[in-house]
Structure 1
Amino acid sequence: MRYEAVIGLEVHVELQTKTKAFCGCTTEFGGKPNSHVCPVCLGLPGALPMINRQVVDFALKTGLALNCKINTFNRFDRKNYFYPDAPKNYQITQNDFPICHDGYVEIETSDGSIKRIGIERIHMEEDAGKLMHTSKGSLVDFNRSGVPLIEIVTKPDIRTPEEATAYLTKLRAILFALGVSDVKMEEGSLRCDGNISVREVGVTTLGVKSEVKNMNSFKALEKALGYEYRRQCEAVENGERLTVETRRWDDSIEETRLMRSKEMANDYRYFPEGDLVTLDISDEWIERVRKTIPELPHEKAERFVREYGIPKYDAMVLTLTADMADFFDEAAKEAKDGKAVSNWIMGDLSRLMNENGTWIADLKFGPRELSGLVAIIKDGTISSAMGKKVLEFMFEEGKDPASIVKERNMVQVSDEGALLEEVKKVLAANPKVVEDYRAGKTKILGFAVGQVMKATKGQANPTVINKLVAEELERLK
C-alpha cells in the first residue's frame, strides 16, 4: 500500500525590535539571566501591557510579502497554560482575529515545477521564558519573556520533507530580506514545529497527526519529518491505533520521542485580552508599510535571469545574501557581462572568501573593480589564467586590477613573432611531442601549449599559442 505525508508547518519568528512586545525592556539576545525584565514581562500584579507599534508594522510587512490578506480589525487574546516559563500563566496572542490570513509561498519542487504552499494565518504573540535544566534542578530565565513573535502557519499543502525544507529556506530568506528578524536558528530567532500525518495515496481525508517540536535546523526538519513519516506508515501497516500527539526530535539518536498528548484549542481557554485595545488598521497604514518592502530574494533572482541572462542556479546562489546580490548587481551592470561576473563571484572569489573565512562585506575591493577585471580579460590585456592571479592580489591588497597588472608587468603577450620563437624552443626541447603528433596523438597539443604557457610565465595569449603550436606541429609532421 502506498502512503503520502500531509505536512503543515508552524514557524515562530522572533521580531527584530529594540523593545519587547508589550513593555520597554530590551530584546537583546543574551545578558545576565533575568536582567532584561520589568513588572509587565514578569506578569506582576497590576502591571499593564502596551502594544509596540513596530511589532504590528513588522507583522503587516511579513503578511504583505507573503501575499496575505490583512484583517483590518485586530484583537489580542489570552492563551492560558501553566508552565514554569510563562510568568503570567497565560500568553498574549491572537486567536479569533489574526492580523494576516490566506497567503502563499511558491517553491520549486525536485522535478522543477512550481508549487504553491498556502499560508493559513499569521498572528502576533509574545515569547515565553527559557528553562535551563541542571543536575540540581531546573532554572528559568525570563529575559526572553515578552519578546515579540509572529507565528506563520501553513495549510497542509506540503507532501515531503524536501518540500518542507524548500519552503522554510525560502521563508527564511524573505524574512531576512524584509529586516523583520535576524532569523538565527541557533539563537532561537526562527523555530519550527511540524504537523504531519499519513494517508493512502488518493484519499482526501486527513490522517491522525503528530506535532513534532525542537526542529532547530534545516537538517533536523528534514530528518524529523522523514522519521515520523516512516514511523506512522509502519504503525498503520501493523494495524496500530495512532493518537494525536506532541513529539520532540532527539538529534542525538535521530528519532522523535513522545512528549505529551496534543492539546486542543479548548484546552487553552482562549478569551479576549482585556488590558489591550483593539486595533483598527487603516488602508493608509497598510500602504505605508507596503512601501517599505524591498525587492525580495526570489524577485531579485528572477530579475537577474531576465536582465543578465544568467542560469537560474546562479541567480539562486547569488541572492542567498543581500550583500552578495547587491555586489553582483552593481558589477554586472558595470561590466555588461552578467555571466562572466557570476563565474568570478561563484568561483574564485567564493573560494578565496571560504579559505579566509570572510564575507562579501569584508572585501577590500568593490563591484567596480571586479567589473574592471572582466573588462581587461575581455579586451585581451590579460588572460583568464592571469586574471585568477590578479584577483588574488585584489583580494589581498584591495587595488584595482589595471594598477596590479601595470605594477607587476602582467600584460598578456600577443606578438606572434615573439611567441613563435617560444613555441619552437619548447618543441625542440620536447621531440617526443612531435613524434606523438605524427603518430596521430593530437591530444599532445594541449601538453605543448601548457609548456609554452609555463615558459612565458602565463603571459602568452593562449589563443595565439594554440594557433601557433598547431601550425608548427603540422609543419613538422
Structure 2
Amino acid sequence: MSALSTLGDYETVIGLEIHVQLRTHSKMFCGCRVEYGAPPNTHVCPVCLGLPGALPVVNEQAIRLAVLAALALDCEVHRRSVFARKNYFYPDLPKGYQISQYDRPLATDGWLELPAESGGPVRRVHIHRLHVEEDSGKSLHDRFPGQTAVDLNRAGVPLVEVVTAPDLRSPAEARAFLGRLKRTLEYLEVSDCNMEEGSLRVDANVSVRPRGSEELPTKTEVKNMNSFSQLEKALTYEAARHITILESGGRVEHQTMLWDPGRGEARPMRGKEEVHDYRYFAEPDLPSLEVAEETVAWAAEQIPELPWEKVRRFQTEYGLPAYDAEVLSATRVLAAYYEAVARACSDPKAAANWVMVEVQAAAKERGRAVSELGVEPEQLAELIELVGTGTLSNLLGKRVLRRMVETGRTAAQIIAEEDLRKVSDREQIEGWVSEVIAEHPQEVARYRRGEEKLLAFFIGQAMHKSRGKADPDRLRETLAAALGRSDDQSG
C-alpha cells in the first residue's frame, strides 16, 4: 500500500461514506424485528410502511450504540442533535423520505489511524461526521422476469453513517481504512459488519489531481462495491478513467457511477445529487435528540482495548512479531482465547503458533469460533507444555489436538488411553529404521549415490510405521547412521 497512487503524475483524492447497520433487535423508529433473510415483507408495520398517522419513536439502544461508535472514533458527541427528512423518490422508500440527520448530526470531528508504512509516520484519517438514520427497503430485480419486487423488511433498520474527509490517497489506502474501521466496529460489537448481508456498505467520492496540488477537483461517487477487493478495483478503475479524460483535454462530469464487478467497469448511474436536491428539513414528528450524560458515561466505560492497541501490547508483553499480533487480534474472541492460553503456559510464542495454525484450522473446518471447539485454553496450554518438554512430538501433539476436539477429553486422558507418548527407545526406533531400509533398497542405493533429499522420504516412512510416535531427532540420527551417512553430511 502506498500513500500515493501509482498513476503517473497524479494522485487520487478519496473520501468514503460508510453505512453500518447497528446490532439491535428492533428497527430505528418502530418495534418491528430486525432479521436478515426473513420472508419478504413480514417485519413491517404502519410506521416503517409510511402509512398516514403513524408516528416514529426513537430506538434508545440504537442511540447508545451510535454514541459508543462515535467515542471510539474520537468524535465529539453533541448533546443535542436534530433528525431531518431527506426527500427523494425510490420504490423501496415507502414514505418518500428517509429520516436521517443533516446540519446537526450526532457526532463530528473524529479520526482513525492508519498504520505506518515502511518506517513512515502513522496517518490519521479525519472523520467529518457520524450520524444516525434509517435504512431503505430492498429492490429485488431477479425474482420475477421483467419486473422489480420490493421487500420492506429492511426499511427502518438503524444505521450509522460514517463520513470521512477526502484524506485517502490511494485505493489501497481506502481499503486499509475500511478494514480498520470494520475491525473497530466489530470489537465494539455495535455491528456484525457483514458485507455479504449488507450490514456494512461503502460509497466513495473520487477525484484526481496533479501531485503537489491542494485543489479539490470535480469528483464522482462510486456505488455498489460489496467487498474489499471490489472497493480497491472500482477506485483504481475510476481514478484511471479520470486521468484518461483529463489528459485528452476533457472535463470530468459530476455524477454517480455504478460499479459492475462482473465486467470490471463503472458506468454512469445518474447525475450526482447536490444537497439541495434532497430538500432537507427538520423532522416534524420527532423532537431534538438529547443525549444524556449517563449515556455518554456508559459508552465510555464500554470501549474495550481496540485492535491496534491489542497488537502493540501483544508485541511488547508476549514478544510476538507484528504479523502474529495482527492475526491474533483479528477478533475479540480469538484474542481472548490466545491470551488465556499464553497466560497458562510458559511459551507465549508457541501458544501463538498453535492458536494461529492448528486451532484456527480446526475451527474453520467445523465452521465454529475457536471458543466453541470444546478445548479450553488451559487444556491447550497443557498440550503445548507436553510438546515443549518433549513428552510428545509436534506431530503427535497435532494428532492429540484433533482427538481433543473430537472427544472433549484432555490431552493427558487421550495420551493415556491411546498410548501416544513419544518413543525414544533406541532399539524400537532401530527396528522401524531396519524395516524401512529393507523395504526400499532402490531408494537406499540412490541415497548412497548422493541423493540426500531422500532422507526426508525415509523419515516419513519410519514415522508412518511408528504411528507418529518416534522421537524425530533420534529417528533422524538413527536413519542417517544406518544409511551410511552422518546427519551433518545428509543436510
TM score, norm. by length of structure 2: 0.88
Residue matched to 1:32: 39
How has the CA–CA distance of structure 1 residues 426 and 47 changed in structure 2, closer, same or farther, with 3 Å as cutoff?
Answer: closer
Aligned to 1:234: 244
Whole-angstrom distance in 1 between the partners of 2:137 and 2:435? 77
Q: 1:128 aligns with which of 136, 142, 157?
A: 136
Alignment of 1:7-406 (within 5 A): 7-108=14-115, 111=118, 113=120, 114-133=122-141, 134-406=144-416
Paired with 1:330 and 1:71, the residues of 2 have a C-alpha distance of 39
Indicate if the aligned counterparts of 1:235 and 1:242 stay in contact, CA closer than 8 A.
yes
Q: How far 1:274 sits from its partner (Å)?
A: 2.2
Judge conservation of contact 2:13–2:206 (CA < 8 Å) in 1: yes
CA RMSD in angstroms comes to 2.8
For the Cα contact (< 8 Å) 2:337–2:371, is it kept in 1? no
Deviation at 1:11, TM superposition (A): 0.4
By how many angstroms is 1:43 displaced? 2.0
Please say if residues 224 and 258 of structure 2, whose CA atoms lie closer than 8 Å, have aligned partners that are also in contact.
yes
Superposed displacement of residue 361, structure 1: 4.1
- In 2, are the aligned partners of 1:376 and 1:402 still within 8 Å (CA)? no
Question: Greater shift after overlay, 418-427 or 289-298?
Answer: 418-427
Q: Deviations over 1:391-435 (max 9, x none)?
A: 222232222111111112111233456656766787798899999
Judging changes above 3 Å, is the alpha-carbon distance between structure 1 residues 23 and 419 closer, same or farther for their aligned structure 2 residues?
closer
- C-alpha distance in 2 between matches for 1:31 and 1:179: 22
Change (3 A) 1:23 1:356: closer
Structure 1 residues 444-453 or 261-270, which shifts more?
A: 444-453
Taking the aligned partners of 2:111 and 2:163, their CA distance within structure 1 comes to 10
1:338 is matched by which residue type in structure 2? Answer: P
Residues 359 and 370, structure 2, Cα contact 8 Å, conserved in 1: no
1 CA distance for matches of 2:434 and 2:263? 66
Superposed displacement of residue 372, structure 1: 1.4
Q: Secondary structure at the match of 2:206?
A: strand
Q: Kindly report which structure 2 residues correspond to 1:389-468, keeping only aligned pairs within 5 A, or say none.
A: 389-416=399-426, 419=429, 453-454=463-464, 456-467=466-477
Q: Deviations over 1:116-138 (max 9, x none)?
A: 22111100111112222343433
Deviates more, 1:436-445 or 1:283-292: 436-445
State the AA in 1 paired with 2:99: I
Q: Does the Cα contact within 8 Å between 2:85 and 2:99 map onto a contact in 1?
A: yes
**Is contact 2:137–2:150 with CA below 8 Å preserved after alignment?**
yes
State the one-letter code of the partner of 2:103: D
CA spacing shift, 1:445–1:260, aligned 2, 3 Å: closer
Deviations 1:188-208 (A, max 9, x none): 111110100000111111121
Larger displacement relative to structure 2 (45-54 or 109-118): 109-118
Q: State how far apart, in whole Å, the 2-side matches of 1:432 and 1:130 are.
A: 68
CA contact (8 A) 1:94 1:123 kept: yes
Is the partner of 1:187 in helix, strand or coil? coil
Partner amino acid for 1:163? E
Unmatched segments (≥5 aa) in structure 2: 1-7
The verdict on how the C-alpha distance between 1:447 and 1:28 changes in structure 2, with shifts beyond 3 A counting, is closer
Alignment-derived partner of residue 4 in structure 1: 11
Distance in 1 between the 2:147 and 2:216 partners? 41
Mapped partners of 1:451, 1:245: distance in 2: 66
Change (3 A) 1:457 1:228: same
Contact 1:235–1:241 at 8 Å: present in 2 too? Answer: yes
Task: Name the amino acid aligned to 2:285.
Answer: D
The match for 2:5 is none
Task: Report how far residue 257 of structure 1 moved.
Answer: 0.9
Q: Hey, what's the Cα distance between the residues in 1 that align with 2:200 and 2:452?
A: 58
For the structure 1 residues 437 and 23, does the alpha-carbon distance in structure 2 shift closer, same or farther, using more than 3 Å as the test? closer
For the structure 1 residues 219 and 438, does the alpha-carbon distance in structure 2 shift closer, same or farther, using more than 3 Å as the test? Answer: closer
Deviates more, 1:182-191 or 1:83-92: 83-92
Deviations 1:239-265 (A, max 9, x none): 111121111111221111101111111
Q: CA deviation at 1:467?
A: 4.9
Question: Could you report, residue by residue, the CA deviation over 1:104-156 in whole angstroms, capped at 9, with x for unpaired residues?
Answer: 11223664643222111100111112222343433322222211111000111
Offset of residue 22 of structure 1: 1.4
Q: Is the 8 A contact 1:59 1:124 kept in 2?
A: yes
Deviation of the 1:470 alpha carbon:
6.1
Which letter maps to 1:232? Answer: H
1:356–1:283 CA distance, 2 compared to 1 (3 A): closer
In 2, are the aligned partners of 1:55 and 1:148 still within 8 Å (CA)? Answer: yes
Q: Which amino acid is 2:134 matched to?
A: E
**Whole-angstrom CA distance in 1 between matches of 2:93 and 2:434:** 84
Give 1:222 deviation, angstroms: 1.1
Gaps of 5+ in 1: none
Evaluate the alpha carbon distance shift between residue 450 and residue 208 of structure 1 in structure 2; reply closer, same or farther with a 3 A threshold: same
Aligned to 2:3: none
TM-score, length of structure 1 as denominator length? 0.91
